[in-house]
């Protein structure tokens, strides 16, 4: 992607997360510092004949507590779980940003909050009611709950966003595509402020059966890059950023957390399930090229790292192709080893990870990495995080269908 000479710089002023290892950014970060794992036994719905009985579920989230202060969005309490997560993460990010919403010109703001699956919990509960329990009707808000753009609409209503408001959907690259689109809207003057990221809540009987049929779930845990890895672990959660133009942030005296300096995206155009090397390599190359950085300038890489047999080897090879000799000294980790794989929301959580590494000079580990796969021979920060000065961090998101998106974050502009 060409770098426009008159494009505005885009900065991050707020972050918010909901995860299985923390219901706020601080709790999430502190959990990673002690290598906490959010994977546990499934619960909360009939397990029946399921063979995979673990997931990274969020078990202590109460929308009546987290969202009780919402004023404009009158229906959020009746929304699907994925919309609750998005609303709570967005609320945290907005509070940290210090922005007053609606902004002075609400048409100069955007809300791009994606989801790979939308309201699957509502889908399942509604179908159980109709086809198993024999009920004659579903809840009157069923349709609104299941729509994949409902989370963005709820967030947009609460914060009075009147500019572009919609959802992205690209499986496990959803959040990163949302961040990239929001960045472009700000960069090219369409809006000044954006709330962007993704949310996911898909853990139910039907979803678990569908993923079981694909044979990519582990019955034991999520162990990226490890010799013992045997599949990923489904998770739920949300990751949201507040982004704005550098000029807008400076004018209001905002504390800037990081700058989004590069973005790349590509499609393998080869296979729905099996990943390729060329597509991820090109997305990383584009992000580096647009940022104006050399490969050696990246100190930390948040890997897609799903712990599936093919993905981890392919990602390792793609990293080597892009970073050359620097790949051996590059600090890499997959935080999915701790918070599980939240599908479309993953890139949002991992963007927050990159921003915190820049701020704190500490990089999180890949836990469960007792013995690496011989074909995964890079520095994946095994088991315990480490102190490391990070100026530039990259986050990879690679999805089913060969849909790739990569972002690069840098320090707050001087």
What count of residues does the chain have? 414
Contact at 8 Å (CB) between 198 and 253? no
**Which DSSP state fits 110?**
E
Residue 51 exposed, middle or buried by CB count within 10 Å (0-12, 13-18, 19+): exposed
Place of tokens 């929301």: 345
Active-site residue among 172, 222, 354, 376?
A: 172
| Catalytic entry in 248, 304, 339, 376 | 304
Question: What phi, psi does 118 have (nearest 5°)?
Answer: 70, -145
Helix ranges, 59-108 (H): 63-66, 81-97
Question: Is residue 222 flagged as an active site residue?
Answer: no
CB 362 within 8 A of CB 33: yes
Helix (H) or strand (E) holding 396: strand 393-399
215 is catalytic: no
Which one of 169, 248, 341, 354 is the catalytic residue? 341
Rounded CA separation 186/199 (Å): 22
Instruction: Please report how many Cα atoms fall inside a 13 Å half-sphere around the Cα of residue 187, on the Cβ side.
Output: 19
Q: Is 248 a catalytic residue?
A: no
Closest CA to 72 of 148, 162, 143: 162
Number of Cβ within a 10 Å radius of residue 299: 20
**Strand locations in 228-372 (E):** 237-245, 258-267, 300-302, 331-333, 362-363
DSSP 3-state of 386 = strand
Find, among 212, 170, 164, the residue nearest to 190 by Cα.
164
Q: What are the residue numbers of the active site?
A: 172, 304, 341
């Amino acid at each position: 992607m060409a770098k426009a000479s008159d494009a505005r710089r885009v900065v991050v002023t707020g972050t918010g997360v909901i995860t299985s290892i923390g219901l706020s950014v601080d709790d999430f970060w502190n959990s990673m510092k002690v290598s906490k794992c959010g994977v546990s036994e499934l619960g909360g719905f009939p397990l029946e004949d399921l063979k995979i009985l673990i997931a990274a579920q969020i078990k202590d989230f109460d929308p009546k507590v987290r969202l009780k202060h919402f004023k404009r969005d009158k229906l959020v309490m009746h929304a699907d779980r994925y919309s609750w997560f998005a609303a709570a993460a967005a609320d945290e990010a907005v509070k940290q940003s210090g922005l007053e919403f609606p902004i002075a010109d609400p048409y100069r703001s955007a809300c791009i909050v994606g989801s790979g699956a939308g309201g699957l919990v509502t889908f399942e509960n509604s179908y159980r009611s109709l086809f198993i329990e024999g009920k004659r009707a579903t809840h009157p808000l069923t349709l609104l709950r299941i729509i994949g753009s409902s989370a963005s609409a709820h967030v947009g209503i609460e914060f009075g966003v009147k500019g572009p408001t919609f959802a992205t959907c690209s499986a496990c690259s959803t959040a990163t595509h949302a961040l990239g689109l929001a960045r472009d809207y700000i960069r090219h003057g369409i809006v000044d402020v954006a709330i962007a990221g993704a949310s996911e809540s898909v853990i139910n009987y039907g979803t678990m059966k569908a993923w079981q049929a694909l044979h990519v779930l582990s019955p034991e845990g999520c162990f990226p890059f490890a010799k013992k890895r045997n599949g990923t672990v489904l998770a739920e959660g949300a990751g949201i950023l507040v982004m704005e133009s550098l000029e807008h942030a400076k004018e209001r005296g905002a504390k800037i957390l990081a700058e989004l300096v590069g973005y790349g995206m590509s499609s393998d155009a080869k296979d729905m399930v099996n990943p390729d090397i060329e597509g991820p390599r090109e997305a990383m190359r584009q992000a580096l090229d647009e940022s104006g950085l050399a490969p050696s300038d990246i100190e930390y890489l948040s890997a897609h790292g799903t712990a599936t047999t093919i993905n981890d080897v392919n990602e390792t090879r793609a990293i080597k192709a892009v970073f050359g000799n620097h790949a051996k000294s590059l600090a890499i980790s997959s935080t999915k080893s701790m918070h599980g794989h939240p599908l479309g929301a993953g890139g949002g959580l991992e963007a927050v990870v990159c921003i915190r590494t820049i701020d704190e000079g500490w990089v999180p580990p890949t836990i469960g990495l007792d013995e690496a796969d011989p074909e995964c021979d890079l520095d994946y920060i095994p088991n315990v995080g480490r102190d490391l000065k990070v100026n530039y961090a990259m986050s990879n998101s690679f999805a089913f269908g060969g849909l790739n998106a990569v972002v690069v974050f840098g320090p707050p502009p001087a």
